[in-house]
Structure 1
Amino acid sequence: MIREFGTSDFLFILFAVRWTLLLSAIAFAGGAVGGLVIALARVSQNRIFSGLALGFIRVFQGTPLLMQLFLVFFGINIFGISVTPLLAAAIALTLHASAFLGEIWRGSIQAVPGGQHEASWALGLGYLDRMKSIILPQAARISVAPTVGFLVQLIKGTSLASIIGFVEMTRAGQIINNATFEPFTVFGLVAVFYFILCWPLSIAARQLERRFSRATAR
């Protein structure tokens, strides 16, 4: 039975924002850990580590996120392991974020002037000490803007988790639309919530990029 869109429907979509934020936070945190490992492996002089990291990046950057969600959700179940939509989405998005953040941070590490590497070698620092004390702090400053920009894409990417039944904002909108049949109102509201979440981050990414550009030009 079709009914009118009401306050309870608005609140249902509003409360689903927390699940979008939760999934985004889990994926970004996991992706940050995985991305750091991938980035360090990519710039390593060990060809095996570098090759494995490159293969990982190519697989997850070269396949649709939607397919990755399907493979994780249905693939784990094939082995008789019950997995919730939240867990499956978190795993898939973490792997996805690891590949992209790893490549962003690899580029940032390699953007550190070569003189810094040479100076650390001259001081006799080992690989870990060189990265921790000299290279990574400078690379982190370079990577802030593109990292925040990727976070915006990740938040929007969580909408694909609706396809495996995870009730975040997009899935909540689908549920309400099926009951009210008011797609313009429902999905317009969902779009507004995504905009409210992503727009401040987009502004921050642009400001950080301009600030870094000015600092580099001095």
Structure 2
Amino acid sequence: MGSEEFTFLLIGLKWTVLLSAVGFICGCLAGLGVALARTSGISLLERVTATYIAVFQGTPLLMQLFVTYYGLALIGLKLDAWEAVAIGLTLHASAYLGEIWRGSIEAVPRGQTEAAKALSLRYVSRMKDIILPQAIRISLPATIGFLVQLIKGTSLASIVGFTELTRAGNIISNQIFQPLTVFGIVGALYFLMCCPLTIVGARLERRFAAAHAR
């Protein structure tokens, strides 16, 4: 295990970080739309987004990436591995984050919404200034926890031939025949990414629980 092999792992790490960032950021934007639709009070929107969430929560991420890459190609939409994985992770994240945030929105005391309506605030103002700031605060521990799962989920990108950290480790392992060493380093790199996030999420959860108990 020399410097060239370690550099190759770091390149894979770079793509893992980029995939995680794209999937999470785009998933946040789409997930917000899903959460707002789920709490809109419009029956059709709520049923459609509930079905959307059920599909992505009820099927493995591995299958979703497979369908995104190979399935879209069958209907003439040929994507490269990066685009397919980014779209797949975005759809996956939007479903999970949409449901997390839906629960957080509904966890905000109803009196807040009723008071805003009594002040004749419109829907956009109610959500932007009153409901969403509180809901985001409530959802932070679960959102960070999902980000950790998403980072680890990028390892499934190898199903479509994309070289992220896990696939880079597999390639090197096949070349130098030192799987324990290689995947020990790969595991350590995942740990260094995920452990700080896990600690932050746990601290936020304890802090919010203590504040709620007062």
The TM tier, using the shorter chain, reads over 0.9
Q: 2:175 aligns with which of 176, 179, 186?
A: 179
Give the match for residue 122 of structure 1.
Answer: 118
Alignment of 1:187-202 (within 5 A): 187-202=183-198
Equivalent residue for 2:135, pick from 136, 139, 152:
139
Q: Which range is displaced more, 175-184 or 78-87?
A: 78-87
- How far off is 1:82 after superposition? 2.7
Q: CA deviation at 1:80?
A: 3.0
Gaps of 5+ in 2: none
Instruction: Give the residue type in structure 1 aligned to 2:67.
Output: L
CA shift digits 1:69-118 (9 cap, x unpaired): 00000012113333111110000000000000000000000000111111
Structure 1 distance, partners of 2:166, 2:198, is: 20
1:63 is matched by which residue type in structure 2?
T
**Sequence identity, in percent?**
57
Q: 2:23 aligns with which of 21, 27, 34?
A: 27
Over the residues paired in the alignment, what is the CA RMSD in angstroms?
0.9
* Letter of the 1:28 counterpart: F
Write the distance in 1 (CA, Å) between the matches of 2:169 and 2:80.
20
> Equivalent of 2:157, from 154, 161, 166?
161
| Residue 70 of structure 2, aligned match among 52, 55, 74 | 74
Residue number in structure 2 paired with 1:63: 59
Q: State TM-score, norm by structure 1.
A: 0.96
Distance 1:103 1:81 in 2: 29
Match of 2:39 among 43, 46, 67: 43
**Corresponding position of 1:12:** 8
Match status 1:212 vs 2:208:
yes
Which 10-residue stretch deviates more, 123-132 or 56-65? 123-132
- Whole-Å Cα distance in 2 between the matches of residues 79 and 56 of structure 1? 21
Match for residue 97 of structure 2? 101
Letter in 2 for 1:108: S
TM-score by length of 2: 0.97
Matched length? 214
3-state SS of 1:19 partner: helix
Task: Tell me by how many angstroms 1:15 deviates.
Answer: 2.2
Instruction: For 2:25 and 2:59, locate their aligned partners in 1 and report how far apart those are by CA, in whole Å.
Output: 22
Q: CA deviation at 1:57?
A: 0.1
SS in structure 2 at match of 1:39: helix
Give unpaired runs (5+ residues) of structure 1.
none
Q: Write the distance in 1 (CA, Å) between the matches of 2:27 and 2:67.
A: 18
